[in-house]
Amino acid sequence: MFGYRVPAPDEAMLVSGGKNRGGQPFRVVTGHGAFILPFFRRTRFLTLAMREAEVEETCVTFQGIALHVRAVIAFKVGNDQVSIVNAGQRFLSDQGQMAVLTGRIFSGHLRSIIGSMTVEEIIQDRQKLATEVLDGSKEEMARIGLTIDALQIQSIDDGKLGYIAAIAAPHNAAIQQRAQIAQAQANQAAAEAQQRSQRAQAEYARETAVVQAQYRAEIERAQAEAEQAGPLAQAQAQHAVITARTELAEREAELRQQQLITEVVRPAEAQAEQIRILALADAEKMRIQAEAAASHDRVALDRLLIDQLPEIVRQAASGLAGANVTVLNGADGVGEIASGLVGQGIAIFEALRTGVHQPPLPIQDGRGEERAPVRIPESGREL
């Protein structure tokens, strides 16, 4: 079929037809594709993946003991072109035959290798058996284009002969003995540990009892001392309490005194000072008001007296109107009488103004000489 063909990563593409280099029967293509001409070329694919073959074989050892051996072989077609060509020529048409043929090859080599070994060698060194089988089959497997990745001996047994068990018996006995010894040693160690623990517990109990006895003795001694020192300690405690209470009372009294001074005395003194200042201010105010009032009343009284002076003189003169008065010196005498009346009015004015009684002013005649005041008989007045 015409087209571009590409093999899988684990496959080799075999292209037949035409001439090939190196005289190979077909062209091997791996890892890339190729154009295939129709009718003239033919392509087939050979797997390069790992495959597995199981081997179960009964083999006879060098000692004549039959052993049943089971092994697993991991193999694949080699990656080189020669191996692919060899495997393609043998297994391309039936690739399942690779596992069958590999198993048969390894069975033969396994029987041959085990026949040259003893049971003890096989049991003790399985890796030696596997290595020798691989080495013996490597060349033959290479001729058919296969390579071995691994060979694993899975099991080896002698059926019911008991040879392997007999071989293992001394080892088992030794192991059992060592196990028993180890167990006995462990038991002894456990017993010794238990004894040490018991001794430690007894020692701890003894020490605890001693400590408890000492502790009780200390308690009893302390109690005895406390009982003996009880009254003294109580008295000292009471004295300390009384002293503390006294100091507290004194401190409280001082605080109370300071509080009274702050809350009562100082405010009272401040209030008294305030009252005194206010009283002084009121007294000064009253004095000033009294002086002002007196001054005002005096002025008013003077004005009133001045206004009434003519009336006072008039009343005095009217008293003379009906009086029997003898005028000795004529017109001069009448003038003198009038002057006396005016002087009497002035004296009355001064007496009323000052509140002080003044004697009547002397009456002068026309010559400037003083004369006795004129008495008006009917009224008892002197002029």
d(CA 144, CA 160): 39
Helix, strand, or coil here: 383? coil
Q: What's the total number of domains in the chain?
A: 2
DSSP class of 265: I
What is the three-class DSSP state of 64? coil
Whether 210 is covered by a domain: the verdict is: no
* CB proximity list for 363: less than 8 A, separation 6 or greater: 336, 337, 339, 340, 343, 370, 371, 372, 373, 374, 383
25 assigned to some structural domain:
no
The model's pLDDT over 302-345, given as tens digits with 9 standing for 90+, comes to 666 667 666 765 665 665 555 555 545 555 555 566 566 566 66
Beta bridge partner(s), residue 155: 70
Q: What is the pLDDT of residue 355?
A: 56
Note whether residue 154 is domain-resident: yes
List the domain range (segments joined by +) for residue 360: 299-382
Per-residue pLDDT of the chain (383 residues), as tens digits, is: 457 888 888 888 888 877 766 667 888 888 888 878 777 788 889 888 999 999 888 889 888 888 898 999 999 998 888 888 888 888 888 888 999 999 899 988 888 888 888 888 888 888 888 888 888 888 889 999 999 888 888 888 887 888 887 877 787 788 888 888 988 988 988 888 888 888 888 888 888 888 888 878 888 887 777 677 666 667 776 787 788 788 888 888 888 788 778 877 778 787 887 788 788 877 887 887 777 777 666 666 666 666 766 676 566 566 555 555 554 555 555 556 656 656 666 676 666 656 544 454 454 444 445 544 544 444 444 44
State the Cα–Cα distance between residues 97 and 300, nearest whole angstrom.
169
CA distance 190 to 125: 40
In a domain, 219, yes or no: no
- Nearest-5° angle of CA 241, CA 245, CA 248? 140
Domain endpoint, select from 167, 190, 217: 167
Is 189 within the bounds of a domain?
A: no
Q: What CATH number corresponds to the domain at position 103?
A: 3.30.479.30
Domain boundary among 110, 134, 167: 167
Please indicate, yes or no, if residue 246 is contained in any of the structural domains.
Answer: no
Output the pLDDT for position 361.
Answer: 47
Residue 78 forms part of a structural domain = no
Give a yes or no: residue 323 inside a domain: yes
133, 150, 167 — which closes off a domain?
167
How buried is 167 (Cβ within 10 angstroms: 0-12 exposed, 13-18 middle, 19+ buried)?
middle
> What single DSSP character describes residue 262?
I
pLDDT at res. 74 = 92
